[in-house]
Chains A and B, each alone.
Chain A
Amino acid sequence: EAGVAQSPRYKIIEKRQSVAFWCNPISGHATLYWYQQILGQGPKLLIQFQNNGVVDDSQLPKDRFSAERLKGVDSTLKIQPAKLEDSAVYLCASSPRPSPSSYNEQFFGPGTRLTVL
C-alpha cells in the first residue's frame, strides 16, 4: 500500500513570496490533515478535511494560508505572502473514515521543509 505522498520535499523562498505544497493521501482515506511542525516542537494542526469539506481550520492563519481539496482526494496548501516565522516542516496526514471500532489512526507523509529567508 502506497503511503502519503508530499511534494516538494524542500523549498527555500524569500519573505513575501508565495509557495504551495501538494499532498496525495493514501487511497480511500476520507480525512486529510495539514500540520505545521516548527523545529523542536510537536506538529500543530492547520486544517482538517473530511472528503472535500473543511472540518477544522481554527488554527489556520487565514490571512496568509489557504488550503483546498476540491475533489476530495489530493490537496494543496498555499502560503501567500510568506513570513520568516513560517519556516517549518509541513506535514500531511490521512486517515480512513472513522468507525466505532477504529482508532482513526493518522498516517503521515514525509513532510515539506520550508525555509523562508
Chain B
Amino acid sequence: KNQVEQSPQSLIILEGKNCTLQCNYTVSPFSNLRWYKQDTGRGPVSLTIMTFSENTKSNGRYTATLDADTKQSSLHITASQLSDSASYICVVSAIKAAGNKLTFGGGTRVLVKP
C-alpha cells in the first residue's frame, strides 16, 4: 500500500531559527516527490518538485532533499519568518497508466513565534 509518513506532526520554532521536516514514503513506482505549503484557510501551494535523479532543490529559504534509495525526503527552512507558519505537506507521485497518482502525507504544522 502506498503511504507517506511525515514527522514531526507539529513544531514550534522561534523566528530566525532553522528547522527540518521529514518525510518517509513507500510509493512505487516512484515518479516524483513534492513539498506543498498550506496556509490556514487556503489550498496547498507547491514549493518544490523532485524526480528520481534529483537529490536537492531549493526555493528561496526552502531546501528539499531526496534520497530515493532510502525513500526519505526532508524540507529545511532557513532563517524562519512569521509567514512560514503553515502546514507543510509531502506528496509522492506514482506512475500509473491513467496518469500520475498522488499520495499525500498528513502534514507537519509549523508555528513560528516572534
Using CB atoms and an 8 Å cutoff, list the residues of chain A in contact with chain B: 4, 31, 40-45, 48, 50, 55-56, 91, 93, 98, 103-111, 113
Give Cα A8 to B49, complex, Å: 30
Q: Which residue of B lies closest to A40 (CB)?
A: B106
What DSSP secondary structure best describes chain B's contact surface?
strand
Given A50-B99, A55-B99, are A41 and B107 neighbors across the interface (CB < 8 Å)? Answer: yes
**A105 pairs with B101, CB closer than 8 A:** no
Among all A-B residue pairs, the 6 with the closest Cβ atoms: A108-B43, A42-B104, A103-B49, A42-B106, A108-B44, A55-B98
| A31 contacts B102, C-beta separation under 8 Å | no
Q: Is the CB of A42 within 8 A of B45?
A: no
Q: How many A-B residue pairs have CB under 8 A?
A: 56
B100 touches A98 (CB 8 A): yes
Provide the residues of chain A in CB contact with B42, threshold 8 Å: 110-111
Given A50-B99, A110-B42 in contact, is the A105-B104 Cβ separation under 8 Å? no
Collect the chain A residues with CB atoms within 8 Å of residue B107's CB: 40-42
Interface residues of B, CB < 8 Å — how many?
23
Let me know if B41 is at the binding interface, CB within 8 A. Answer: yes
Task: Give A31 to B98 CA distance when docked, in angstroms.
Answer: 11
User: Across the two chains, which residue of chain A brings its CB closest to B49?
Assistant: A103
